[in-house]
Homo-oligomer: A and B are copies of this chain.
Amino acid sequence: MSASLPTLQHIRDAAARIAPYATLTPVLRSDELDAVAGAQLHFKCENLQRGGAFKFRGACNAVWSLSDEEAAHGVVTHSSGNHGNALALAAATRGIPAHVVVPEGAVRAKLEAIERAGAILHRCAPTIAAREAKAAQVQQATGAIMVHPYADARVMAGQGTLVLELLHQCASLDALVTPIGGGGLSAGCAIAAHGLQPSIAIYGAEPAGAADTAQSLARGARIDSFTPDTMCDGLRAFVGEPNLQALREHGVSVITVSDEETVAAMRQLWQALKIVVEVSSATVFAAVLKQRERFAGKRVGLVLTGGNVDLDALPW
Contacts and interface: CB of A to CB of B under 8 A. Distances in A.
Copies in the complex: 2
Nearest to A24: B26
Given A26-B26, A28-B48, A311-B267, A274 B274 contact: no
A270 B276 contact: yes
Interface residues of A, number: 23
Given A26-B26, A28-B48, A316-B311, A274 B276 contact: yes
A309 to B, nearest CB: 8
B271 A274 contact: no
Contact of A275 (B23, B276, B308, B312): B276
A307 B274 contact: yes
Contacts of A308: 274
Nearest to A26: B26
A197 B275 CA distance: 31
In the A-B complex, the 6 residue pairs with the smallest Cβ-Cβ separation, listed nearest first, are A274-B307, A26-B26, A47-B274, A274-B276, A275-B275, A52-B274
Interface string A257-275: 0000000000100110111
A273 B308 CA distance: 10
Contacts of A271: 311
B26 A311 contact: no
